């Protein structure tokens, strides 16, 4: 079956691409020769900096909580760029709340972005790929989390949203095969500003790798799913230094 081959000239949207893991994915895709489209929510200054690092990549602002913003985002991409070869669904939220205290607002805060926006971005990307690409071909990579597999008592609402990302990865892979592959990367501990937090340091030390991962580690897995044979679809790659090994 077909490979996407190299990424030169491929148009790839990364949601939440301004900072942290999203920024590293953008930088790696740019280094691979892709034309990166950078979505951001509130981090306009950081997004501009990342765009400058990625060959003055075009920027797209949208609040992914709102499906109307998502529909407008993909209309804007079609109008300004004309096509989309791949989507990396990276934007997400993360909160810590005791499950006995989770309110409906806490629940919706997480699920509106982590699961609902992930689905509707995938849907809009697939429709755009079908309209514009030969054979309707495309690639979608959803960033889930090891929280989908592990029991994290203070993040139950987050873990449920990320398990949902894996469920929709599998279902959409089947729905849109063989033209569009849909795969997922599940990161383990990938700290940035929080790299010195003793709890994070301890969690990373306790993994078989003995250290935390980096945005570059996640970007590597994203590149794999963007370039591999189309025969690979519906899969989740755990990039976690062995955190999930029990
Ligand atoms: N870091 C880790 O250890 C880790 C572990 C497991 C999984 N992950 C997953 O990996 C991905 C990236 O992680 P990260 O730590 O780099 O993420 P992050 O910094 O927490 O979030 C990434 C971006 O998501 C965007 N976003 C959130 N809500 C939004 C909204 N309503 N509208 C538009 N954009 C919104 C934000 O964009 P703006 O800043 O522009 O608003 C933010 O910069 C996420 O899916 C995360 O769940 C991360």
Mean pLDDT of the chain: 97
Whether 35 has a pLDDT exceeding 80, the answer reads yes
Among protein residues, the one with the nearest Cα to ligand 1's atom 46 is: 92
Q: Which atom, in ligand 1's list, is nearest to the CA of 40? A: 40
Distance CA 41, CA 62 (A): 5
- Torsion angle, CA of 210/215/216/220, rounded to 10 degrees? 100
133 lines ligand 1 (CB under 6 A): no
pLDDT of residue 4: 67
154 lines ligand 1 (CB under 6 A): no
What separation in Å is there between the alpha carbon of 169 and the centre of ligand 1? Answer: 18
Whether 28 has a pLDDT exceeding 90, the answer reads yes
| Residues 106-162 pLDDT 10s | 999 999 999 999 999 999 999 999 999 999 999 999 999 999 999 999 999 999 999
Non-local CB neighbours of 122 within 8 Å, separated by 6+ positions? 87, 89, 140, 142, 168, 172, 182
Q: Which atom, in ligand 1's list, is nearest to the CA of 215? A: 16
The 10 Å Cβ neighbour count of residue 32 is 17
Q: Is the dihedral of CA 59, 65, 71, 72 positive or negative?
A: negative
Give me the residue label for tokens 């025969």: 231
pLDDT of residue 135: 98
| CATH superfamily assigned to domain 11-239 | NAD(P)-binding Rossmann-like Domain (3.40.50.720)
Q: In terms of Cα–Cα distance, which of 65, 25, 21, 24 is closest to 42?
A: 65
221 lines ligand 1 (CB under 6 A): no
Is residue 190 within 8 Å of 215, Cβ to Cβ? yes
| Residues 41-96 pLDDT 10s | 999 999 999 999 999 999 999 999 999 999 999 999 999 999 999 999 999 999 99
Whether 5 has a pLDDT exceeding 90, the answer reads no
Give me the residue label for tokens 């790798």: 209
243 lines ligand 1 (CB under 6 A): no
Residue 246 confidence class, pLDDT cut points 50, 70, 90: confident
Q: Coil, helix or strand for 229? A: strand
Backbone angles phi, psi at 61, to 5 degrees: -95, 135
Among protein residues, the one with the nearest Cα to ligand 1's atom 3 is: 190
Residue extents of the structural domains in the chain:
11-239
């Amino acid at each position: 079956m077909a490979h996407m081959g190299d990424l030169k000239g491929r148009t790839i949207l990364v949601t939440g691409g301004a900072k942290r893991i999203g920024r590293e994915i953008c930088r790696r895709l740019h280094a691979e020769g892709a034309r990166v489209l950078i979505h951001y929510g509130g981090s306009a200054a950081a997004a501009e900096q990342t765009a400058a690092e990625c060959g003055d990549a075009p920027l797209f602002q949208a609040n992914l909580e709102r499906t109307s913003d998502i529909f407008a985002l993909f209309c804007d991409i079609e109008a300004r760029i004309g096509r989309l070869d791949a989507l990396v669904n990276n934007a997400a939220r993360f909160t810590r709340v005791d499950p006995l205290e989770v309110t409906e607002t806490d629940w919706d805060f997480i699920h509106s972005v982590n699961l609902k926006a992930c689905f509707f971005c995938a849907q809009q990307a697939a429709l755009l790929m079908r309209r514009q690409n030969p054979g309707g071909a495309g690639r979608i990579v959803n960033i889930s989390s090891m929280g989908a597999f592990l029991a994290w008592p203070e993040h139950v609402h987050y873990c449920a949203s990320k398990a949902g990302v894996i469920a929709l990865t599998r279902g959409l892979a089947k729905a849109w095969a063989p033209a569009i592959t849909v795969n997922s990367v599940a990161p383990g501990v990938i700290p940035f500003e929080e790299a010195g937090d003793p709890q994070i340091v301890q969690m990373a030390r306790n993994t078989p790798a003995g250290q935390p991962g980096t945005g570059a580690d996640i970007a590597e897995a994203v590149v794999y799913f963007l370039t591999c044979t189309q025969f690979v679809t519906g899969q989740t790659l755990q990039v976690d230094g062995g955190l999930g090994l029990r």
